[in-house]
Amino acid sequence: ELKVEQNPLFLSMQEGKNYTIYCNYSTTSDRLYWYRQDPGKSLESLFVLLSNGAVKQEGRLMASLDTKARLSTLHITAAVHDLSATYFCAVDGTGTASKLTFGTGTRLQVTL
């Protein structure tokens, strides 16, 4: 059974600081997704990582995937308040862009 773990569960950080969210998963997969969820909203797709060593960046967020270590990271650079949200990683264990197993989520709070 595929298990996906994220840490930390909650992260409070000051504006301007850097931090990394970690996503570990238990079985072989080379498809990993990152989503953002704002309170009262659905999921917003951030990144799709499709191979070992994949790195994608959008603004202050950068995601990477190491399939051998079964680890993905979401790095936040110089955080701003607008990044406050819950971030989920999710693994596609089927390899066919279909059903996902989600991590526990990381609630990020960026303070002034």
The residues binding other proteins (CB under 8 A) are 31, 33, 35, 41-43, 45, 48, 50, 88, 90, 92, 96-105
Nearer to other proteins, 25 or 33 (CB): 33
Q: How far is the CB of 51 from other proteins (least distance, A)?
A: 11
Nearer to other proteins, 16 or 95 (CB): 95
Q: How far is the CB of 78 from other proteins (least distance, A)?
A: 27
**CA gap 70, 95 in Å, rounded:** 15
Backbone angles phi, psi at 83, to 5 degrees: -80, -5
Which residue(s) pair with 45 in the sheet? 35
Nearer to other proteins, 98 or 112 (CB): 98
Nearer to other proteins, 48 or 71 (CB): 48
Q: How far is the CB of 12 from other proteins (least distance, A)?
A: 17
With 0-12 CB in 10 A as exposed, 13-18 as middle and 19+ as buried, what is 13?
Answer: middle
Backbone angles phi, psi at 25, to 5 degrees: -135, 160
Q: How far is the CB of 97 from other proteins (least distance, A)?
A: 4
Backbone angles phi, psi at 19, to 5 degrees: -160, 165
